Chains A and B, each alone.
Chain A
Amino acid sequence: MKIIVAIKQVPERDAQIRIDAAGKWIEESGLQYALNESDAYALEEALQLKEKHGGEVVVLTAGPERVGPTIREALAKGADRAIHIDCADLGSRDALGVARLLAAAVNPENPDLILTGLQSDDLGQGQTGVILAELLGLPHSSLILHVEKTETGFTVKRELEEGWFQSIELPTPAVLTIQSGGNKLRYATLMGIKRAKTKEVRTVTASDLTVDAAPVVVLERVALPQKQKSTQMLPGTPKEAAAALVEKLKFEARVL
């Protein structure tokens, strides 16, 4: 079984956020980067499928040169080879543009299954996998926690709202976007890193892939949110405080 896992390198979760000079993104100098969290789960799911059914796991990523260590991390964890779409202007492409790049790289590979993480930790659109399926003309499902191979394709466990789940059957090939938390992630090991050194990383530049890069959605500018996270203490009698809290939870935090 050939599985392609599309991964993204994103700024580290507790990166310090400063808005860049143009006001369109954050200052990237001094940032540390890591593998996107739900992509790590996608990779884990792919590796488990390979361990069970044999085959090959190929990681695919688009980004500038700095994505190298993330590719090696994926190879260290067990992916067999990697395709790197060298793209210096990833940020200026929208979800459709990025998916087009990925689709162009995937096409010649003819995989049985394509996995992506549910959404990225930086932009959080959660669309790339779904769009990729559309561009490739493949069936898909999203928010997947578990994948099982069947005679005809796959049976997946999809997460629904409020603690419900659903199982869905799909043919092969298909695209699945993987939700965090479905598996226990494996840690990178010294042995894995050493073996990764001999694994193939094929680089193809974005311009080679001849896709339409004109954005249909533009991120005009970014700004820090008004409210910084600070503790709101609710004073008054227990009754007053309780009422105030419930009001806040319902309308401000929107968790009730």
Chain B
Amino acid sequence: MLPLTATMAEPQHFSLVEKLLLVLLVAASAAGFWLRFRVVLGKILQSKPDASFRLFPIGRRILDFLWEVVLQAKVIRQRPLPGLAHALVFWGFCAFVLVTLNHFASGLGLGFLSPAGRFGRFYFDCAAVFALACAVGILGLFIRRFLIRPKWLGEKLSYQSGFIAFLIFLLMVTYLAAFFFTDSDPATRILWWVHTLALLTFLPIIPHTKHLHLVLSPATVFLSRGGFSQIPPLAGDEDFGLIAGTDLTRLVSLQAFSCVECGRCTEHCPTANTGKLLNPKEIILGLRGYLNDLGPASEEPLLGKYNPQEAPFQCTTCGACEFQCPVGIEHLPILIGLRRGAVNTGAWEDDYGAKLFLSLERGSNAHGLPASERDKFIEKAALPIFDGTQEYCLWLGCMGGYDPKGREIIADFARVMNYLGTTFGVLRKEKCCGDPVRRLGNDLVFQQLAESNLEALTQTKTRKIVSICPHCVRTIQEDWKEYGAPPTIEHHSEFLARFADKLPKQSRGNKPKSLAANSRTRDPREAGANLPPLSEPLPQPPLSIGSDETIVYHDPCYLGRYRNVYKKPRAVIALTGQLIEAPRNHERSFCCGAGGGLVFLGEETGERIGQVRAAELVSTGATTIGTACPFCNSIFRDALAEKGEAAPQLLDIAQLTARGLPQIKA
């Protein structure tokens, strides 16, 4: 039994031969590390500087670093058990910094932290706890990779990972074992040397494998672009996007080398999960492969050999990949950068894409319909025209202005605004906000649309905009900034939530108090297990809208992950019926497939993303599907069409709200 007074044993004396050997080995190991690391560092630094990179404000960077790196928050939250195991390993490494330094110093007779001293003993004992945790962690990860074999880690077993796991385990075991011996015990010396060799073997392996993330990822997280899907402006007249190695910037190269191959991005990618070519992990590793083989000065195309040209064009820009990445890789600017390279040079030949671009070159909306159609709708729905005196400009968008369902949503939202007494008007002329062309990488058309719209908004003195479409909200608020100063814009769920106390309550709504925590399921198998309890009935007599009605809410990508708005639409729905969660909800919401301009690009290959998601929503048994995006609504409408009469109702939150209004017309 280990006596309580035991502390880590270390050899007290090293012979000259040992010291020389140690120096040689350290030199060799360091050289092995540096020779490769220098190459990687070189490739990163030789890449084009990021023209729009700003170190300040530095607060965000520091916070991200603390949250994601130090606290391992994303790592744990999104894959709890493996994430925790990894965090233990990581914290173990952190705790071991002093231990390791002292280990080598003492090998040369220069030890500075003695296990005999008070602080030393305390430190080594704490480190032992970390070591134990680390050993457990690494063992768990090993079992996961080699015995459980989740498919996200790839088809082939990675013996490299196995070896590293073994080394880490060995390091921890040799450290802990030293607590069971005394300084003079020969076993102690053996343990010391095994530990040393393990370390010195590990070091040069780092830059040759994905374990490079140990060195790079803290920097990657710190230096990231921030925001979500931050698309950098093109830098100068010769920049058209990511075409060849010379277009890769330092940040992109850094991110490519930081990939830890965990597969979280691919695991949540709607495209990769429906049988298409796109695989976000492979996109990043493709860039890494390119940099390794050809380097950042190459003019060879990035697409073709390392990733098929079609792959980036299958992306819906849902952002699940970027959201999941624990090492700070920002997939969306890379995917869009690859698209830009193909589109801005005309290399992308796609009938539907060309049609979309031509429609927006000449016309006002993405459907290619005449603007008079929108005028007719405005007239028929008797929508007031914005003249600068009203509080809000109601942005119709391409769906609200032209799609029959989108128009219904607008009409209902207008009714709600009238009921609330909010003054609003619609613009006489509106052009597409440019979202589909922005995401497809057509900077020419996007610039034309953004500038034209900004001009029109300035002329009409628009200060506040409300929109039913998360794509419009995102594009207007963020992407237009490149060309001017857009007015403030909010999504109608944010608007409605603000007036929740003025809107009639249609049924025994649930207070969302435990909604956030309980229903944030990670595992689809847990669906239904975390439904929040019904709260007490509210004082007012509820409207009887089918007492067994349940509404499953689908988080739109551009409202959820992009804008971080989850609670507000739920609060609105809770006023109108009993809210239930889809198996994949909140930031795990599964895309409907319309984004990234894809809804305009013709039929998908493989399974249809929208149908997969619709089936998931239907499987909850809800009587109603609640949406907050007209594109999601349109996709589900098609997908549900096959079910005919048996399909659940499909209603936008504006429609759900409006049906509770008194029937008297304003």
Contacts and interface: CB of A to CB of B under 8 A. Distances in A.
Note whether A and B contact each other (Cβ less than 8 A).
yes
Contact of A14 (B240, B353, B370): B370
B485 interface: no
Determine the interface band of chain A, counting residues with CB < 8 A from chain B: 10 to 19
A70 to B, nearest CB: 11
A187 B346 contact: yes
B140 to A, nearest CB: 50
Interface in A175-206: 184-194
Given A14-B370, A186-B354, A191 B240 contact: yes
A170 interface: no
Contact of A190 (B353, B358, B361, B444): B444
Contacts of B601: none
Contact of B345 (A13, A185, A189): A189
A188 B444 contact: yes
Contacts of B358: 185, 187
Nearest to A77: B346
Contacts of A193: 444
A211 interface: no
A190 B344 contact: yes
A207 B363 CA distance: 34
B343 interface: yes
A136 interface: no
A186 B346 contact: yes
Contact of B346 (A35, A189, A194): A189
Nearest to A229: B372
B237 interface: yes
Contacts of A16: 371-372
Contact of B362 (A34, A184, A194): A34
B351 A184 contact: yes
A187 B349 CA distance: 9
Interface in B350-377: 351, 353-354, 357-358, 361-364, 370-372
Contact of A192 (B346, B353, B370, B372): B346
Interface in B510-568: none
Interface string B212-239: 0000000000000000000000100100
Given A12-B362, A184-B351, A189 B370 contact: no
Contacts of A73: 361
B364 A191 contact: no
Nearest to B241: A190
B363 A14 contact: yes
Nearest to B238: A194
Determine the interface band of chain B, counting residues with CB < 8 A from chain A: 20 to 34
A192 B343 CA distance: 11
B443 interface: yes
A34 B368 CA distance: 14
Q: Chain B at the A interface: mostly helix, strand, loop or mixed?
A: helix
Interface in B432-446: 442-445
B443 A190 contact: yes
Nearest to B363: A14
Contacts of B372: 14, 16
A187 B370 contact: no
Given A34-B362, A184-B351, A13 B370 contact: yes
B314 to A, nearest CB: 20
A34 B361 CA distance: 9
Interface in B442-461: 442-445
Given A12-B362, A13-B363, A34-B362, A191 B346 contact: yes
Nearest to B239: A190
Nearest to A34: B362
B357 A187 contact: yes
A189 B345 CA distance: 6
Contacts of B362: 12-13, 34-35
B345 A191 contact: yes
A190 B363 contact: no
Given A187-B445, A190-B240, 14 more contacts: A14-B363, A16-B371, A185-B358, A186-B346, A187-B442, A188-B445, A189-B343, A189-B345, A189-B442, A190-B234, A190-B344, A190-B444, A191-B345, A193-B444
Interface of B: 234, 237, 240, 343-346, 351, 353-354, 357-358, 361-364, 370-372, 442-445
6 contacts: A12-B362, A16-B371, A16-B372, A184-B354, A186-B354, A187-B357
Which 7 pairs from chain A and chain B are nearest by CB? A14-B370, A187-B357, A190-B344, A190-B444, A189-B346, A14-B371, A34-B362
